[in-house]
A and B are shown apart, each in its own frame.
Chain A
Amino acid sequence: MTLLLLALMSCERPECARPAYHRAECRVQAENVLARVQTSEGVEIRFQEAKATSAESWSTTGLLRNQQDAPVFARVATLGDFRLSVETEEATTLRLTLDNVDPRIPALEGELESSGLRRELELELEPGVNWIVGELPEAVCSGSFRLAAAGDIQTNPLQFRQIIDALHTEASDSEAEGEPLLGLVLLGDISEFSQPEELTQVLDILASSPVPVAVIPGNHDVYASLDAVFNRMVGPGNLSFDVCSARVVLFDTGSGSLAPSIEGRLPELLKSEQPHLLAGMHHPPMPGNTSGGWSDELSAATLLAEFSQAGGELLLAAHVHERLEMLDGPVPQVVVGTLGADQVEVDPDYGYLRVSVREQVSWCFVPVSAAGSPGASRPPPVDCVERSAR
Chain B
Amino acid sequence: MLPLLLCLSAQAHESEPGLKPYVVPPTEAAQLRKRLRWAGIAGMASAGLWYFAAGDSLGAGDPATLLAGAGLVATTGALIGGSYAVLDPREPAMGWEASGPPLRLTLSPGGSTTIGENVPYGGSLELAPRFILGPELQLIAQGTLRGDFGDRVDVDPRPQSDFAPALSRWGWGADVNPELRWYREGMDFRLRPTLLTRYTATTFADGSTRQLERQAWMPLTLGVRFYVSGRQRFGLYLGPRWDSLRWSDGGQWQEREVDFGPIYGQAFYSINRPHMRLPGGLVGASRLRISYEHSNFDGQAFDFGAVVGFFGPVTAQYDMQLRRPGWDNGVQVGLGVSGTKGGQVNLSIGWNTQPFGAVH
Question: What is A's interface to B at a CB cutoff of 8 Å?
Answer: 9-16, 25-26, 28-29, 32-33, 57-58, 192-194, 219-220, 223, 254-257, 260-261, 263-268, 283, 286-299, 301-302, 304-306, 308-309, 319-322, 326, 328-330, 337, 341-345
Contact = CB atoms under 8 A, between A and B. Distances in A.
Interface stretch (B34-42, B126-134, B298-306, B347-355): B298-306
A265 B160 CA distance: 14
Interface hub of A15, A32, A193 (most chain B Cβ within 10 A): A15
A298 B299 contact: yes
A11 B113 contact: yes
B296 A296 contact: yes
Contact of B62 (A256, A257, A289): A289
Contact of A223 (B200, B245, B261, B306): B306
Nearest to A16: B157
Contact of A330 (B155, B245, B310): B245
B114 A12 contact: yes
A388 B310 CA distance: 33
Given A260-B166, A261-B154, A268-B205, A293 B309 contact: yes
A146 B305 CA distance: 35
Contact of B157 (A25, A306, A320, A345): A25
A11 B259 CA distance: 44
A329 B243 CA distance: 10
Contact of A220 (B64, B114, B163, B306): B306
Contacts of B55: 344
B237 interface: no
Contacts of A290: 58-59, 61-62
B296 A321 contact: no
Given A13-B113, A256-B309, A343 B156 contact: no
Interface of B: 52-65, 113-117, 154-160, 163, 165-168, 171, 198, 200, 202, 204-206, 208, 210, 212, 214, 245, 247, 249, 254, 257, 259-263, 296-299, 301, 303, 305-310, 341
A10 B257 contact: no
B306 A291 contact: no
B303 A260 contact: no
Contacts of B62: 289-291
B310 A305 contact: no
Contacts of B310: 291-292
27 contacts: A11-B113, A13-B114, A15-B116, A16-B157, A32-B160, A33-B159, A194-B306, A223-B306, A260-B167, A261-B157, A261-B167, A264-B205, A267-B206, A283-B308, A283-B309, A286-B259, A291-B64, A292-B58, A295-B308, A297-B214, A297-B299, A298-B212, A299-B299, A302-B202, A305-B254, A309-B210, A326-B259
Nearest to A268: B206
B163 A14 contact: yes
Nearest to A296: B299
Interface hub of A29, A260, A343 (most chain B Cβ within 10 A): A260
A78 B5 CA distance: 54
Contacts of B309: 219, 256, 283, 287, 292-295, 319
Contact of B198 (A26, A298, A330): A298
Given A15-B155, A16-B157, A295 B57 contact: no
Nearest to B117: A15
B205 A265 contact: yes
Given A267-B205, A344-B54, 13 more contacts: A13-B115, A29-B159, A219-B306, A223-B305, A255-B303, A256-B301, A264-B168, A288-B261, A291-B310, A295-B308, A297-B296, A301-B214, A302-B200
Given A14-B163, A305-B247, A342-B57, A267 B204 contact: yes
A268 B161 CA distance: 14
A288 B115 CA distance: 38
Contact of B58 (A10, A33, A294, A337): A337
Interface hub of B54, B65, B306 (most chain A Cβ within 10 A): B306
Given A291-B58, A306-B210, A265 B166 contact: yes
Nearest to B60: A291
A261 B156 contact: yes
A58 B159 CA distance: 10
Contact of A289 (B61, B115, B165, B200): B61
Contacts of A283: 308-309
B176 to A, nearest CB: 19
Contacts of A292: 58, 61, 309-310
Given A14-B114, A291-B58, A344-B55, A264 B156 contact: yes
A29 B159 CA distance: 7
Interface hub of A10, A254, A296 (most chain B Cβ within 10 A): A296
Contacts of B165: 264
Contacts of A223: 305-306, 308
A304 B299 contact: no
Interface hub of A28, A260, A264, A342 (most chain B Cβ within 10 A): A264
A329 B259 contact: yes
Given A32-B158, A297-B297, A344-B56, A289 B205 contact: no
Contact of A29 (B60, B157, B212, B305): B157
B262 A288 contact: yes
Contact of A344 (B52, B257, B262, B305): B52
B139 to A, nearest CB: 30
Contacts of B52: 344
Contact of B247 (A32, A260, A291, A309): A309
A12 B115 CA distance: 6
Contacts of A264: 154, 156, 165-168, 204-205
Given A298-B198, A330-B245, A10 B113 contact: yes
A295 B311 CA distance: 8
Interface hub of B52, B257, B297 (most chain A Cβ within 10 A): B257
Nearest to B214: A301
A16 to B, nearest CB: 5
